[in-house]
Structure 1
Amino acid sequence: MRVTTDLWASALVRRVFASGGFAAILKRGSGEAGAAFVLVRDRFGDVALYGPAPQTSYETARPDERLFVRIGDGETAENLEARIEREKRFDPDIWVVEIETGSLPVEDLVTVKG
């Protein structure tokens, strides 16, 4: 059974803080089933955006875990933030969690698909 987005986002924030990083929920959407986006900033100012993987990435019809793909590889922070704004207008129930990783790489905090 998949956990609610509210619980998943809270757990992500705790994992990031436990690894020595920083995390904040920038936008709260639907607590039960809102899509989650993760904005990753590193200490050098580089930004990456991860969003929900397409349904074709899942092995089963009802996946237990959330899979993410990197969105807009190589884009500027401004372009990625504009992308988030477009996503908010398209789906007001999305969640946006911003993290600055600590000792763990982002792939250890969220499941990234290829």
Structure 2
Amino acid sequence: MLVGALLRRVNDAGGIAMVRAKGDAQGGAILLLIEDRSGPVRVLERTLGLDGAASLTVSTPADDAESYWRRRRARDPDLWVVELDIPEAERFAAETILSN
């Protein structure tokens, strides 16, 4: 549900959002690939704190983001991987997947 809402918001705002890998519909983790024309792809993850509150955590690897998410996906088949290409992608992600 969160991924669907994020896809709609980004696409409705003129950006591009696409699912690179589908995870578990009820409880899969969400990993975001943020396209940046001025630099390498940034990686953010939706994480839950000890208090149960969701946050976005920077997980950008030192090496290739593509290899990173594929390794993560191999270990966690429930992982959602979503690519965003829109200015202020972090804002869209925070407003959509952290507000619930």
Same fold, TM-score > 0.5, yes or no: yes
* Higher-Rg member (1/2): 1
TM-score w.r.t. structure 2 length?
0.80
Question: C-alpha offsets along residues 18-73 of structure 1, whole Å, 9 cap, x if unaligned?
Answer: 222101011101100000100011234631011133534xxx34x3xx42111126
The one-letter code of the counterpart of 1:29 is G
Count of residue correspondences? 96
Q: Is the 8 A contact 1:43 1:100 kept in 2?
A: no
Comparing 32-41 and 47-56, the one that deviates more: 47-56
C-alpha separation in 1, matches of 2:37 and 2:12 = 17
Partner-residue secondary structure (3-state), 1:9: helix
Unaligned stretches of 5+ residues in structure 1: 1-6
Match of 1:85 in 2: 70
Identity %: 27
Question: C-alpha offsets along residues 48-100 of structure 1, whole Å, 9 cap, x if unaligned?
Answer: 011133534xxx34x3xx42111126x45xx1111101111111110000010
Partner-residue secondary structure (3-state), 2:69: helix
The 5 A counterparts of 1:11-26 are: 11-26=5-20
Match of 2:60 in 1: 72
Shift of 1:15: 1.0
Tell me which of 27, 35, 46 is aligned to 1:33.
27
Root-mean-square deviation (CA, aligned residues, Å) is 2.3
Unaligned stretches of 5+ residues in structure 2: 96-100
The one-letter code of the counterpart of 1:18 is D
Tell me which of 65, 90, 96 is aligned to 1:107.
90
